[in-house]
Each structure stands twice: as C-alpha cells, then as structure tokens.
Amino acid sequence: MKTRVTKILGIQYPIVQGGLAYLAYADLAAAVSNAGGLGQITAMSLKDPEKLRNEIRKIRTLTNKPFGVNFAIGRQYEESYADLLEVAIEEKVPVI
C-alpha cells in the first residue's frame, strides 16, 4: 500500500503507533515496525536520557525498520524534555 505517509516515513502501511505512555518501549515499537507500521518509543515515560538511549539502542537490535521517538509536550509535563530530545538527535532516530 503506497500513500503519502508510507512514502515519507518509509513504512509499508499507513499505521503509526500512538504514544502509549508507560507502554511504548522498544519491544512494542519494534513489533509495530516489523509488522509494517511506524512503532514509537515514548520518551517522556522514561524521563532519563540514558534510559531513552538504551531503548533506542535496544529497538535497533529488534528491527531494521523505521521507528520513532514520541515526545508528548502537553501541559501535563512540566519538566524539560531537552535532554531527551538531544539523545534522540544524537542517536539519529528516523522519526521524532
């Protein structure tokens, strides 16, 4: 199936996993990506840059497909996510 979304994201199906706070870690994200969608790790659930880095590195052992890191930046998050964003950029995450 080819759509604008599949072409932009490099995925097979136009399915993007939701953020799923406290559920969207490397295992789930890799399963979604391996099934042809875009799996996502939820950064704000981790809250620690090194934990995020570990999840990003783990997903790369589980899939060679595109994946993303989701940043929920709504009002419920008062803490800064700049350190987490820096990790995602350093690790060259395909989709943020």
Amino acid at site 8: I
Average of pLDDT values for 26-50?
A: 95
Domain boundaries, the chain: 4-90
According to the model, what pLDDT value does residue 80 have? 76
Amino acid at site 43: A
66 CB-near residues (< 8 Å, 6+ apart): 9, 10, 11, 33, 38, 94, 95
Residue 55 clears pLDDT 80, i.e. is over it: yes
This prediction has a pTM of 0.91
pLDDT: which is higher, 76 or 49: 49
